[in-house]
A and B are shown apart, each in its own frame.
Chain A
């Protein structure tokens, strides 16, 4: 059960990370004039609700599986997401409004927000990954992997390539 929760959170978190990256990329496209405000905002607004839902699910999941620390960590961000969605003025076209986004540094604050979320999700990602709940084969899988660097000597390899180089030049002559 525990494992299922964490595997799910991990996947969800991956999705959120991708979403944050997508937000950042789209916003910086807007910043550089690659796309116009209208299309940028309609692209982003589509993903606002999935983001909120995705994050809320993790939070709730952590609550019901009684992982208090992770729950409390997620709570402020989830609250902020929902608050932001609710507080959109009635005349605006969503969290990202094309007519407002260039005003009063909104673009920058959206960008900052997306960056912070990206950092947060990355943190969460590693937390889920290494959490005790998830005694995944991750730790075991690491061991054989850890030996691989020693199987080949990098120094040796370098030397090897050097030699071939010389040969090549000889061939050329």
Chain B
């Protein structure tokens, strides 16, 4: 490496410039980074450590800016810039980081007024009085030559040493440090010297600067926080909003290593990529040695208990630690293969699907939001700048998707977090894989639309009979003030039976006025305005209407339903603005356009042949595309006892990016469970975050291409998904292929960018970036397989297959997916052909999950599942995020009659017990226990016949087994520790998901017991194999 060998005592300004020149001139793009980096830090140390007493020397730097502005400025960055926070709870590498006395000094500097470049002169005086402070940066001095990997990494004692505030100690110290520390620990040390000052700065920066500088909001409060504790735990990496209290008390141990690696002063993260080339091997080696079981080959026929007792964790991509730390949260963005095969041939050989599973609009507890006049993007492929780009030097960055070299714009040189100029690599955009931008006006085709909500109610006789209007109107009344929106929120109502009724809610009317349009052949809007009204201005009228609506149609005898015309009318009403249309339908539409005919044949339900999974008309699809074009999304609530042809109706939501809710046999009296479910889900539906007029683009590194999309949206052009509405509960999946070989790259990245209008009328872009390694051998591909993601993607593909071909085709395809990949593994990876079913550790649950998919409602055969239910299950497969899809496919089973606080987690002062997950086999059940099954949308508590009296009385609140009511959907809140634990556990499970799982308490003779047993996927049913039989079948095929 071209280290200019800075003499530690070199005179600052001149030496500096010379070095800068060397820096910019030195090296190839790849190696440039670290060198430059080292230089920077050395400069820092030079200038600050030795020249701080010479205030006069600094003014040179200002004029110098024109010549070599970046690096000059960055000197300051080197020492000060450590960004304030990161409450990253990493593996706590304890650094004995004493709160260094030098802090006040730096913070005072930081509060300096000049935003674009902190005045050097102001810094000097500050530095002068405090030798300790000035020496601190000096510790950054990296070893001139072999600073990279020559020393065994050894960490902690140096920082301690470095806090000795003596000038003389300084030189010793640096020497010491550099001898003892290896690469990462070196960075660590930077940190240690920097952090204390930082943390203090943090508060200053956070509070004073950013808003003035960039127009506010960097720190912006966490967007729509989710109460979910697990999420909050997992999303720990966003730094901007740190409670002010934190900064005064730097906890020495909790923010150890990760903190430093996120923020080490002059080792920009971009540079960590550079070591990757060299480090790749070692990193991967260490990764493997850390997880020896990851390399194991498992004979599934011999080892039976493969299911882990804690929820399965997604595999960690085999990346350099520093990159992995910045990588996107797997809950948001996940790839089926965490090691991307180099060529399509290799991918074909592995027989595993390559694809991404996304949950881009998930509620996040902390989300960095950047307000900036320019959003830095690659000039050729329009990729947003992200943590995985490489900085060739201070002024240029190389796109990680198309490899184009781009300039860093002037604004980007300034880091608002640390208020330091010249550190583009430490901007929040480059430190966060998930980030949100406030979009400037270039990102708007029209002024951001107001939130518009239109409700379309079926009020035919059948609908009134179910009594749903009551509960929906009540929910709406309750949540009217909670509807996401602002003063511009608009709301409207339409009801329909064989005619269409509009409601004029004009301000000043004493009561809502109903307008009936009976010409359903040619629908028109009876009056141009006052049908969609401003919610705030006409709130009383809206409330009046909601109160009277349920009573208005109680006597109706109209049985026909003109859904098609009503949708057309609603579309016409909304098309000028766009927005969300919520349609409640209770029967098959029978009148006008879009009328459907019943086509389910009940006695053929169980066979896989001849069932109607395809829509019978293209009316709903066409209308959905029209809606999509006008930014209208349609959410369908189907509350129907009979067949309603969800396959056709569902298209209206599917292509307009809406969602489908299905409540079979809804009735306000006969089916209280569904009523409760509707109530809870409506509450979530009405109050959840919403994004309007959204588009999402998924980009990937050159060489990869997306060929199939799954989810509710319309693919407008090759990689642009049109999402009239986006909601936080929707997941998406895409399939990819390797178009060009990736031999000359070691990393590939994927970026999803979601541009939407928030309910407050702001245009925002949420960007997620995922980075994965490329591998060249089949074995590595298998080692990196993410079995949950693979199963999820296969389920999506199987839904497509059942629609385009047939259900039995789809089932065969699922089985073949297992057989093909395992035989590929057997023939290409395993050298010695052992008997049995050998699988890589990463795929040990693959056969189980596929078997579970085969028994899932979407794909099962032999049961009397209603067609609509099956299609709803398929809609869910397509629209649910992976986590929930996996839960519905392979539920978690817990034994809950003996919950204890052992291993419990603590969230907000609640102790939540964590019972182990059991295998889904009757073998695991016992009559003297109680078992809770968490199947995503439903929770079932099965109580065994001989269940302990204790559980019955302390948790269920009944005296004996016979007294458990036939339908029990709630646990009583008893004043016993057992009850408290059980309820805490169940509510914890419920809080983790956006929908409301109903709890059923099941006795031996309950009708629900069959449902419960149906989820026992490892067991044999009359039409499906048991897990062991399935394994044998696969083994037979694999060994053929």
Contacts and interface: CB of A to CB of B under 8 A. Distances in A.
B800 A90 contact: no
Contacts of A33: 717-718, 720
Interface stretch (B610-618, B742-750, B829-837): B610-618
B625 interface: yes
A104 B625 contact: no
Interface string A83-124: 000000111110000110111110000000000000000000
Contact of A90 (B616, B709, B715, B717): B616
A104 B800 contact: yes
B609 interface: no
Given A104-B708, A105-B707, A93 B622 contact: yes
B716 interface: yes
A12 interface: no
B629 A38 contact: yes
A102 B715 contact: yes
B714 interface: yes
A38 B718 CA distance: 12
A38 B625 contact: yes
Contacts of A58: none
Contacts of B621: 91-93, 99
A99 B618 CA distance: 11
Most buried by A among B622, B709, B716, B717: B717
Interface in B625-665: 625, 629, 647-648, 651, 655
Nearest to A88: B618
A37 B800 contact: no
Contacts of A104: 707-708, 800
B717 A37 contact: yes
B715 A99 contact: yes
A92 B709 contact: no
Interface size band for A: 10 to 19
B718 A99 contact: no
A36 B618 contact: no
Interface string B804-817: 10000000000000
A99 B614 contact: no
Interface residues of B, number: 24
B697 to A, nearest CB: 11
Contacts of A36: 716-717
A99 B617 contact: no
A92 B620 CA distance: 10
B343 to A, nearest CB: 18
Contacts of A38: 625, 629, 714, 716
Interface SS of A by simple majority: loop
A91 B708 contact: no
A5 to B, nearest CB: 39
A37 B716 CA distance: 5
A103 B615 contact: no
Contacts of B617: 90-91
A31 B715 CA distance: 12
B717 A30 contact: yes
Contact of A99 (B616, B655, B720): B655
Most buried by B among A31, A38, A89, A102: A102
A90 B718 CA distance: 25
Contacts of B709: 102-103
A115 to B, nearest CB: 19
A92 B625 CA distance: 12
A90 B613 CA distance: 11
A31 B719 CA distance: 10
A89 B618 CA distance: 9
B15 to A, nearest CB: 52
Given A90-B617, A91-B614, A105-B707, A99 B714 contact: yes
A91 B616 contact: yes
A93 B618 contact: yes
A105 B344 CA distance: 15
B618 to A, nearest CB: 5
Interface string A66-98: 000000000000000000000001111100001
Interface SS of B by simple majority: mixed
A28 B235 CA distance: 42
A101 B708 CA distance: 9
A33 B718 CA distance: 7
Contact of B648 (A30, A91, A93): A91
Contacts of B800: 103-104
Nearest to A30: B717
Nearest to B618: A93
A128 B804 CA distance: 39
Contacts of A101: 715
B715 A37 contact: yes
A76 to B, nearest CB: 23
Interface string B688-726: 000000000000000000011100001111101000000
Nearest to B615: A91
B1034 to A, nearest CB: 26
A90 B716 contact: no
Interface in A5-49: 30-31, 33, 36-38
A107 to B, nearest CB: 8
Contacts of B614: 89-91
Contacts of A90: 614-618
Contacts of B718: 30-31, 33, 102
Nearest to B737: A105
A104 B651 CA distance: 19
A20 to B, nearest CB: 22
Contacts of B615: 89-91
Contacts of B625: 38, 98-99
B648 to A, nearest CB: 7
Contacts of B707: 103-105
B916 to A, nearest CB: 41
Nearest to B801: A104
B655 to A, nearest CB: 6
Interface in B848-883: none
Interface string B775-812: 00000000000000000000000001000100000000
A40 to B, nearest CB: 9
Contacts of A102: 708-709, 715, 717-718
Most buried by A among B648, B715, B804: B715
Contacts of A92: 618, 621
B651 A91 contact: yes
A14 to B, nearest CB: 32
Interface string B393-411: 0000000000000000000
A70 to B, nearest CB: 35
Contacts of B714: 37-38, 98-99
Contacts of B616: 90-91
A114 B488 CA distance: 50
Most buried by A among B629, B647, B708: B708
A92 B708 CA distance: 17
B968 to A, nearest CB: 42
Most buried by B among A36, A37, A99: A99
A129 B716 CA distance: 42
Contacts of A105: 707-708
Nearest to B715: A102
Contacts of B618: 90-93
Interface of A: 30-31, 33, 36-38, 89-93, 98-99, 101-105
25 contacts: A30-B718, A33-B717, A37-B717, A38-B625, A38-B629, A38-B716, A89-B615, A90-B614, A90-B616, A91-B614, A91-B615, A91-B617, A91-B618, A91-B621, A91-B647, A92-B621, A98-B625, A99-B655, A103-B707, A103-B709, A103-B800, A104-B707, A104-B708, A104-B800, A105-B707
9 tightest A-B CB contacts, nearest first: A91-B615, A102-B715, A33-B717, A103-B708, A89-B614, A36-B716, A93-B618, A91-B614, A104-B708
Given A98-B625, A103-B709, 15 more contacts: A30-B717, A33-B720, A37-B717, A38-B625, A89-B614, A90-B616, A91-B615, A93-B618, A99-B625, A101-B715, A102-B708, A102-B718, A103-B708, A104-B708, A104-B800
